[in-house]
Amino acid sequence: MDEDRRVLFEELLTTPAPSGHETAVQRRWLDAVEPHADETRVDAYGNAIAVAEGDPETETTVAVTGHADEIGFTVRGVTGEGFLELARLGGSDRTVSRGQHVTVHTDDGPVSGVVGQTAIHLRDGDAEGVPDIAEQFVDVGAADEERARELVSIGDPMTVAAAPRELDGSLLAARNVDNRAGVWVAAEAFRRAVGRADATVVAVSTVQEEVGFRGARMVGWDLDVDAVLTVDVTHATDSPGVPSEATTGVALGDGPVLHRGTTDHPNVVAAAREVAADADIDCQLAAAPSGTGTDADEFSVGGGGTPTLSVGVPNRYMHTPVETVALADLEATAELTAAFAVRAEAFAPFGVEL
């Protein structure tokens, strides 16, 4: 990954954007795609779209998408002693939240806090359970309820305060690889495809995926494209502790994952596999029989049905503060999705024939 692309990825990772509060990261994403776009637009909730027009004699349009939001928490109450009560924002994991540094994102700026954890010396380790998020609390240092309410408001979002870190072997760990990996790929595939593709190429960065694919639902019906490649992280199961029944064979460093299932259109899958083979890009396959759990599920039904493929970036430790990916997989995913866009006209139309 060259320096400019690496800087963009790290800037996306270090810009907080919990679900429903994606404005800052969407602005940074638009800055990256605008120089290559003929048009950009943003809807009322912050979904961002960039369009590069293809050959006027070519009718095919293909989209590469990712979602910008990350999981977190929200302030649901304040105790009389000045501690903050929590609620989940997306699928936050109660087993890793206690003892974490967090940042509360208020209208007046960031407020630092910690998710409290009673010291091991003061609790019965053999009998302890893991309390629900709603039973956990954040300490912002406030002396009492009045001071806490001066600092924060009910409904303020918060994220874990964990900076990206490089690991040996060109791996990178961060709290929000899910799904800054996907929006980075959407921007980078767009950059690589523009000027090479006869098809019109669209890049999309959606909001509120972690709370129910809402952004994709908002834009999917009006996108009007022939095929959608939705890029999100997918579970790498090559680390210790993964239950045997959940093991898929997906590993870091072995390339992007092409899902196969009810959401994933067979003709788009076949085209992506051919593109990957011709470009000598290693890919992995994963079964998704009842859906992908990504924006692809919404894009596939948008516009009365749009041929869609969920493309996964292998990711260890999903929905923890240490989500881990291989930078080589990011590069390969961008190259595959760009190559698909460049060759899309040759495969269109993608619909099944009866």
CA gap 47, 68 in Å, rounded: 9
Q: What is the pLDDT of residue 120?
A: 85
Does residue 209 have an active-site annotation? Answer: yes
- State the pLDDT at residue 128: 67
pLDDT exceeds 80 at position 14: yes
Amino acid at site 291: G
Q: Where are the domains of the chain?
A: 3-70+176-347, 72-160
Tell me whether residue 105 is annotated as binding: no
Asked if residue 232 belongs to a known ligand binding site, the reply is yes
Mean pLDDT value across residues 42-57: 97
Mean pLDDT of 315-327: 98
**Of 3.40.50.2300, 3.40.630.10, 1.10.10.350, 3.40.30.10, which CATH number belongs to 3-70+176-347?**
3.40.630.10
Task: Give the pLDDT score at 154.
Answer: 98
Specify the pLDDT at position 118: 87
Q: pLDDT tens digits, residue range 245-303?
A: 888 999 999 999 999 999 999 999 999 999 999 999 999 999 999 999 999 999 999 98
Q: Please identify, in words, the CATH class of the domain defined by 72-160.
A: mainly beta
Q: Among the options 209, 298, 323, 335, which is catalytic?
A: 209
Q: Which pLDDT does position 75 carry in this prediction?
A: 98
Number of residues assigned to the chain: 354
Mean pLDDT of the chain: 96
Q: What is the percent of the chain where pLDDT is above 70?
A: 99
Residue found by looking up tokens 């980075």 in the block? 184
Asked if the model's pLDDT at residue 30 lies above 90, the reply is yes
Report the pLDDT value the prediction gives residue 156, as an integer from 0 to 100.
98
134-157 pLDDT tens trace:
999 999 999 999 999 999 999 999
Q: Is 226 annotated as a binding residue?
A: no
Instruction: Find the helix or strand (DSSP H, E) in which 263 lies.
Output: none
Closest by Cα among 151, 166, 176, 148 to 24: 176
* Cβ atoms of residues 352 and 307 within 8 Å: no
Is residue 60's pLDDT more than 70? yes
Is 210 among the annotated ligand-binding positions? yes
pLDDT above 90 as % of the chain = 92
Under the banding of pLDDT at 50, 70 and 90, the label for residue 312 is very high
235 marked as binding residue: no
